[in-house]
């Protein structure tokens, strides 16, 4: 989608299973003829080393993933971990992701951003199936040090109000942020034309929790997306007949398919979320694209049934569906829309840069296109984690974004969940624990300074890749309308000068 480097991650057992098979990274090279059939890769343990086999997979194409995954588990066993892409990837959509199964075999955990489903499809690879049965435990250089670090990190997670059992994430999922951002005036509404949505409470994590309580007759807390997770922030929305509507509705999803479209019908949001999962579409990009389509007049803001039909067009591969599948930036260009919230072609996530200045700098300067996970300054700017900063102030935000981007690059590289950021930023022993875990496994001697240096080196490599791909620093900008159009309710513009944006990685 961006034309540059891309990373995306998902919570699933697939990563741990790859490690159990003694594989640190799996690389797919080359690009076969697009007329060649799809195939699958299956990796198992033969008693001494990984064993790789290939199988034909054309019979599984053209279907939604909820139809395909049960067949794969029937064939390869329920202990398998599967990476795949849906019809969206097969059709080369720029808004397609790579899907993994969760702990209950649902094909619902997506590495969604940037069109990676299409990249996987370009290799003619439909599945990568892992079965770590019989594989040895992951070897650690210093298990005692790892265990010491693990205890510190677990204690920090379980004592922090955001990540503790029955805390914010476990009770309400990531959608706990809906009301918080709405109150802060930073919840992008109706294609980033306002920062508050009158229907926000109906689409929030609290609303999901209360809806489930009413329909299921009991409180329903969230579940883990991957083995060993103790935060457990993945929710499920149930229908009135107690069947599953979808799992899970993330903050970004309920926003992109809700407030961003002027929609407050939670069941219709769930339908759209499930369709995106079934087809292999990134919910952030899909909602961002539909917001631009509404701005262009294809349908009215608030028209949830019309939005559902447009997602179905993407699933069908119709001319309109393929147009919208190109993503937020491309759709805005095609329809001549001025208000197009994207950076480097990738649609913006659920935080308004004019109301939260630090995250706007991250959007602009990250190598990934608009991406909140690359440097989550929401921690101090909105949640008060590691100290409270004024989200409307531009002061010091370039340095803040740089620090968060570097630290996040390390967290992503070592495989920890981004949500450990809350406890490790507030609880010093939690940060120590994360570092000790890594040192215990790998035999490294990292400290806080080394972690930042590692992250900066990662970003340096990514930026060099982008420069070679033709993405210059002049593309590290937010859309022009955000610099000139005041955002209600604070009536702020994005007033970070280009020189400050350039300073984030000056000289790199």
Q: What is the pLDDT of residue 90?
A: 98
Residues contacting residue 149 through CB under 8 Å, at least 6 positions apart:
432, 433, 434, 435, 436, 437, 438, 439, 440
Q: Which token pair is 69? A: 């995954």
Checking if the pLDDT of 508 tops 90, the result is no
Please state the domain extents for the chain.
14-130, 140-160+353-508, 173-351
**Protein fold of 173-351:** 1.10.569
Q: What is the pLDDT of residue 152?
A: 98
CATH number of 140-160+353-508: 1.10.599.10
Q: Which token pair is 150? A: 């693990």
For tokens 């995250």, name the residue: 359
Q: What is the pLDDT of residue 507?
A: 73
**Residue 188 gets which letter from DSSP?**
-
Checking if the pLDDT of 144 tops 80, the result is yes
* Rounded distance between C-alpha atoms, residue 136 and residue 261, angstroms: 49
For tokens 């990274």, name the residue: 25
Residue 277: in which H helix or E strand, if any? helix 266-279
Task: Taking residues 255-278, report their average pLDDT.
Answer: 98
The CATH label, of 1.25.40.10, 3.40.1350.10, 3.40.50.620, 3.60.9.10, for the domain at 14-130 is 3.60.9.10
Sign of the torsion formed by the C-alpha atoms of 430, 434, 440 and 444: negative
Task: Taking residues 374-379, report their average pLDDT.
Answer: 96
What is the per-residue pLDDT across 185-218, written as a single tens digit (0 to 9) for each? Answer: 999 999 999 999 999 999 999 999 999 999 999 9
For tokens 């935080």, name the residue: 351
What is the per-residue pLDDT across 229-256, written as a single tens digit (0 to 9) for each? Answer: 999 999 999 999 999 999 999 999 999 9
Sheet-wide strand order for 39-45: 50-56, 39-45, 125-130, 81-84, 98-100, 109-111
Q: Where would I find the H helices in 281-427?
A: 283-296, 304-316, 319-324, 328-335, 357-365, 378-381, 397-414, 421-426
Query: Would you call 189 helix, strand, or coil by DSSP?
Result: strand
Checking if the pLDDT of 59 tops 80, the result is yes
Kindly compute the dihedral angle of the four CA atoms of residues 248, 252, 254, 259, in this order, to the nearest 10 degrees.
180
Task: Taking residues 125-137, report their average pLDDT.
Answer: 96
Cβ–Cβ < 8 Å for 214, 278: no
Cis (ω within 30 of 0) for the bond into 248? yes
Task: Taking residues 346-361, report their average pLDDT.
Answer: 98
Q: Exposed/middle/buried for 320, CB within 10 Å: 0-12, 13-18, 19+?
A: middle
What is the per-residue pLDDT across 286-316, written as a single tens digit (0 to 9) for each? Answer: 999 999 999 999 999 999 999 999 999 999 9
* Rounded distance between C-alpha atoms, residue 363 and residue 373, angstroms: 9
Question: Is the pTM higher than 0.95?
Answer: yes
Q: What is the pLDDT of residue 166?
A: 94
Cβ–Cβ < 8 Å for 227, 103: yes
What is the per-residue pLDDT across 313-329, written as a single tens digit (0 to 9) for each? Answer: 999 999 999 999 999 99
* Rounded distance between C-alpha atoms, residue 235 and residue 427, angstroms: 26
* Rounded distance between C-alpha atoms, residue 106 and residue 10, angstroms: 13
Task: Taking residues 216-226, report their average pLDDT.
Answer: 96
Q: Which token pair is 276? A: 């995106």
Q: What is the pLDDT of residue 137?
A: 87
Give the closest residue to 334 by CA, choosing from 304, 374, 292, 301: 292
CA distances (Å), origin 333, targets 142, 287, 323, 338: 54, 16, 11, 8
Q: What is the pLDDT of residue 411?
A: 95
Mean of the per-residue pLDDT values of the chain: 96
Question: Residue 151's CB: how many other CB atoms inside 10 A?
Answer: 14
- Helices 283-296 and 304-316 cross at an angle (nearest 10°) of 120
Residue 342, beta-bridge partner list: 347
């Amino acid at each position: 989608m961006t034309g540059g480097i891309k990373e995306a991650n998902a919570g699933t057992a697939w990563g741990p299973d790859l490690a159990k098979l003694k594989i640190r990274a799996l690389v797919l090279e080359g690009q076969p003829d697009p007329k060649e059939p799809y195939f699958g890769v299956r990796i198992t343990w033969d008693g001494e080393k990984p064993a790789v086999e290939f199988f034909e997979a054309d019979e599984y194409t053209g279907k939604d993933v909820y139809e395909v995954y049960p067949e794969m588990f029937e064939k390869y066993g329920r202990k398998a971990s599967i990476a795949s892409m849906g019809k969206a990837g097969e059709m080369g959509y720029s808004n397609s992701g790579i899907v993994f199964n969760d702990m209950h075999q649902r094909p619902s955990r997506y590495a969604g951003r940037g069109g990676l489903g299409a990249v996987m499809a370009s290799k003619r690879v439909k599945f990568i199936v892992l079965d770590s049965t019989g594989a040895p435990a992951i070897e650690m250089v210093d298990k005692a040090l790892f265990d010491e670090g693990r205890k510190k990190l677990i204690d920090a997670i379980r004592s922090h109000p955001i990540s503790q059992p029955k805390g914010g994430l476990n009770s309400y999922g990531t959608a706990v942020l809906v009301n918080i951002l709405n109150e802060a005036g930073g919840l992008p509404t109706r294609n980033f034309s306002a920062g508050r949505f009158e229907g926000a409470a109906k689409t929030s994590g609290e609303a999901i929790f209360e809806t489930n309580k009413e329909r299921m007759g009991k409180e329903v807390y969230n579940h883990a997306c991957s083995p060993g997770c103790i935060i457990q922030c993945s929710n499920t929305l149930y229908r009135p007949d107690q069947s599953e509507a979808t799992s899970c509705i993330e903050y970004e999803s309920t926003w992109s398919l809700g407030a961003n479209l002027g929609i407050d019908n939670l069941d219709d949001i769930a339908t759209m979320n499930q369709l995106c999962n079934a087809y292999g579409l990134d919910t952030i990009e899909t909602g961002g694209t539909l917001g631009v389509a509404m701005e262009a007049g294809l349908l009215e803001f608030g028209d949830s049934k019309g939005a559902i039909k447009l997602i179905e067009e993407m699933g069908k591969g119709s001319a309109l569906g393929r147009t919208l599948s190109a993503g937020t930036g491309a759709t805005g260009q095609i329809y001549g829309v001025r208000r197009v919230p994207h950076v480097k072609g990738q649609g913006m996530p659920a935080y308004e840069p004019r109301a939260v200045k630090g995250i706007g700098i991250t959007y602009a300067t990250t190598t990934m296109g608009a991406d909140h996970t690359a440097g989550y300054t929401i921690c101090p700017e909105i949640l008060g984690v590691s100290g409270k900063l004024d989200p409307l102030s531009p002061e010091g935000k370039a340095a803040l974004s740089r620090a968060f981007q570097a630290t996040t690059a390390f967290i992503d590289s070592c495989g920890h969940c981004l949500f450990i950021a809350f406890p490790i930023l507030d609880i010093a022993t939690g940060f120590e624990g994360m570092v000790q875990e890594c040192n215990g496994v790998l035999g490294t001697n990292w400290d806080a300074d080394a972690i930042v240096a590692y992250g900066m080196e990662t970003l340096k490599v990514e930026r060099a890749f982008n420069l070679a791909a033709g993405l210059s620093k002049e593309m590290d900008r937010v859309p022009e309308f955000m610099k000139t159009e005041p955002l209600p309710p604070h009536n702020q513009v994005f007033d970070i000068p280009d020189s400050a944006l350039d300073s984030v990685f000056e000289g790199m």
